[in-house]
Amino acid sequence: MSDTKYDVLAIGNAIVDIIAKCDDVFLAEQDIAKGGMTLIDMARAEQLYSDMGPAVETSGGSAGNTAAGIASFGGKVAYIGKVADDHLGKVFTHDIKAIGVDYNTPPLDHGEMTARSMILVTPDGERSMNTYLGACGKLSAKDIDPEMVTQSKITYFEGYLWDPAEAKDAIREAARIAHENDRLVAMTLSDAFCVDRYRDEFLELMRSGTVDICFANDGELKSLYQTSDINSAIDAVREDCNLTVVTMGADGSMIVTREKTGTVDAQPIDELVDTTGAGDLYAAGFLFGLTDGRELGECAVLGSIAASEVIQHIGPRPQVSLKELAEQLGL
Amino acid sequence: MSDTKYDVLAIGNAIVDIIAKCDDVFLAEQDIAKGGMTLIDMARAEQLYSDMGPAVETSGGSAGNTAAGIASFGGKVAYIGKVADDHLGKVFTHDIKAIGVDYNTPPLDHGEMTARSMILVTPDGERSMNTYLGACGKLSAKDIDPEMVTQSKITYFEGYLWDPAEAKDAIREAARIAHENDRLVAMTLSDAFCVDRYRDEFLELMRSGTVDICFANDGELKSLYQTSDINSAIDAVREDCNLTVVTMGADGSMIVTREKTGTVDAQPIDELVDTTGAGDLYAAGFLFGLTDGRELGECAVLGSIAASEVIQHIGPRPQVSLKELAEQLGL
């Protein structure tokens, strides 16, 4: 690849997380799908906020978390995502710029509010997300800066972008520009329910070569191929995508290429507090490693290190320098 | 005491905390007094927010944190404090009600915004607070519900309330009502610089019997009596106040009555992350114990347990049930 300004351009739903602890009874009472992401409207958002416990607000959004993670590793990152010109939009903008990510998508100046996800964390550390998309619904191809795409080794986007109306056109446009300039395109499948909503389109993205690298957890991959057998899903994705990285929580991760499958252990942790951002930060470590010229196995270890940091505290973004953490661990 | 609806009524500056990590160089560059609370205007708040790192927003305010802590122990608490009718005001209101505190101070409907404190946490866990008081400046005697005071075993307030213009009148009125009804009045000295601003008034509150119970850390107590010798300060406060509780960080706490001084060890912790809320939560445990009829030594242990929980994560309010935590520890 020729010299670029950015290692990664991340594109996603720009969301502020409102995180509260709850028990499983609350999830059942509120009819919330545990471990997943459910789209909600403003009325439901207000009702849920009113019923849930004390909360912490912190910038989130899957690709935003990944961008923040790459920046924390010392990588050069840009981000595209739509907020509104309101308090939460200012919070999102501050946080992503403050960690060193280039971000200048114009905020929406009227209409919808900045997206928020009410994230409920159960005592087992699992998070269940309830997302009001708001301004994210207005992300369109106009928001894609072609120069940013051209200047990025990898353009990375989240499968969640298939939920808002026009974002998928923005992504197809970005992918076209990337490949025209010999750059790579990566995506995350985001969520098993999201995969269920857009299975055919996601498979088409991979089979058509629109996507070069795919991140998924085991549940998402099984959902993609509608199988309960992870090995069949692995065999299938090997045919469909050049490089697939599969995270499996405490069971580590797998690197699936056309030729073979490699396995990497999860980083040991002291206490699982909140899984929010685990997959996003894994992708951050992996993508940082890849654009830094590391071997695939080392990329996976960097992903595991980043994920291990973020699941030991509340909130989806790193609270320490991942660069320093990786150095302490000899990487 | 006759039967009451509340164990404690807490009155304070209703503030949302905006918490970021930083290093000591940043504090020096920004000319921030480490470990203290500095009052700032909106222009400085915006400049500091722009310069500081990624942040987390969470409800705070000294007495608000104490109220939340008492509720987490299972105590019955009410809170009085002024927010504006804006996003942060809704956040503050949600969080304090969601943890089980009765709160119905009418929000300010125009003029100032809800107070926010930009809290910078250095690697040693120390926090340095930069507070824009906003709507708190409008708390007045009109906001004191006499029935709430009458119905509370203890009315507790923060020394920080001497900063906004009219709040001190509100407090004197609340104390008068409390004592008329044979209730107790407690205060925290809040901050060594705050003590320096209002030393004579704080001493008068104690010497006149307006305050029955005083919470202070060692620095605040030394500031009160302008001495570098904690023992002289202890001797002095014993003359001035019926019951003083002095926190000393990792060195534990002291209970100073007219007759004697008792000492209690700090609760052991794994890792000091963020001292924000340590004193507030100590007061919560102590006041819960006191209104629950426990011995003074046990009150201090409950205070230490609550403080130990809050300093092991970012944010000034408990993230676990303090009632369950105390029960696990045999209390």
* DSSP string for residues in A119-149: EEE-TTS-EEEEEE-GGGGG--GGG--HHHH
pLDDT attached to residue A236: 98
Please give the DSSP secondary-structure letter assigned to residue A80.
E
Which residues on A lie below 8 Å from B315 (Cβ)?
Answer: 56
Residue in chain A closest to B319 (alpha carbons) equals: A21
Percent of chain A clearing pLDDT 90 (strictly above): 97
Write out pLDDT tens, residues B107-127. Answer: 998 899 999 999 999 999 999
Average pLDDT of chain A is 96
Average pLDDT, chain B: 96
Q: Indicate if the pLDDT at residue A1 is higher than 80.
A: no
Q: According to DSSP H, which parts of chain A are helical?
A: 24-29, 42-51, 62-73, 87-98, 146-150, 167-180, 192-207, 218-224, 230-240, 278-291, 296-310, 322-328
Inform me whether the pLDDT recorded for A35 exceeds 60.
yes
Asked if the A6-12+62-110+136-328 domain carries CATH number 3.30.160.250, the reply is: no
ipTM: 0.91
Among candidate residues B66, B52, B51, the one with its CA nearest the CA of residue B15 = B66
Cα–Cα dist B321/B330, whole Å: 14
Mean pLDDT for A99-116 is 96
Strand order in the sheet with B152-158: B102-103, B77-80, B6-11, B152-158, B184-188, B213-217, B243-247, B253-257, B261-264
Of the candidates B193, B232, B239, the one whose C-alpha atom is nearest the C-alpha of residue B35 is B193
φ, ψ dihedrals at B255, nearest 5°:
-110, 115
Question: Given 3.30.70.1140, 3.40.1190.20, 3.40.50.300, 3.30.70.380, which CATH number is that of B6-12+61-107+138-328?
Answer: 3.40.1190.20
Q: Residue B3 — very low, low, confident or very high, per pLDDT cuts 50/70/90? A: confident
Mean pLDDT confidence for B253-274: 96
Which SS3 state, helix, strand or coil, does residue A173 take?
A: helix
pLDDT at A106: 96
pLDDT band at B186 (very low <50, low <70, confident <90, very high): very high
Measure in Å the smallest separation between the Cα of A46 and chain B Cα atoms: 11
pLDDT at B208 over 60: yes
Residue B328 has pLDDT above 90, yes or no: yes
First vs last C-alpha separation in chain B: 23
Residue of B93, B319, B322 to mutate when probing chain A, most A C-beta within 10 A:
B319
The stretch A208-233 carries a mean pLDDT of 97
**SS3 call for A105:** coil
pLDDT tens per residue across span A236-290 = 999 999 999 999 999 999 999 999 999 999 999 999 999 999 999 999 999 999 9
pLDDT for A88 equals 97
Residues in A whose CB is inside 8 Å of some CB of B read 20-21, 49-50, 52-59, 68, 86-88, 91, 94-96, 98-99, 313-315, 317, 319
Give backbone dihedrals phi and psi of B59, rounded to 5 degrees, phi first.
Answer: -60, 145
**Bridge partners for A127 per DSSP:** A121
Give pLDDT, residue A224.
98
Cα gap A233→A222, rounded to integer Å: 6
Q: B189 and B206 in contact (C-beta within 8 Å)?
A: no
Interface of B with A (CB under 8 A): 20-21, 49-50, 52-59, 68, 86-88, 91, 94-96, 98-99, 313-315, 317, 319
Mark yes or no for CB contact B54/A95 under 8 Å: yes
Tell me, what's the pLDDT at A3?
Answer: 82
Residue A2 clears pLDDT 80, i.e. is over it? no
Q: What is the pLDDT of residue B325?
A: 96
Mean local confidence (pLDDT), B152-156? 98
For the cut 90, the answer to whether the pLDDT of residue B2 exceeds it is: no
Contact list, B98 vs chain A (CB under 8 Å): 20, 52-55
Average pLDDT over residues A115-136: 97
DSSP A53: -
pLDDT in tens, B86-114: 999 999 999 999 999 999 999 998 899 99
- Identify whether the C-beta of residue A261 lies closer than 8 Å to the C-beta of residue A234: yes
- Joined together, the tokens standing for residue A55 give 């909360």
The whole-angstrom separation of Cα A172 and Cα A225 is 22
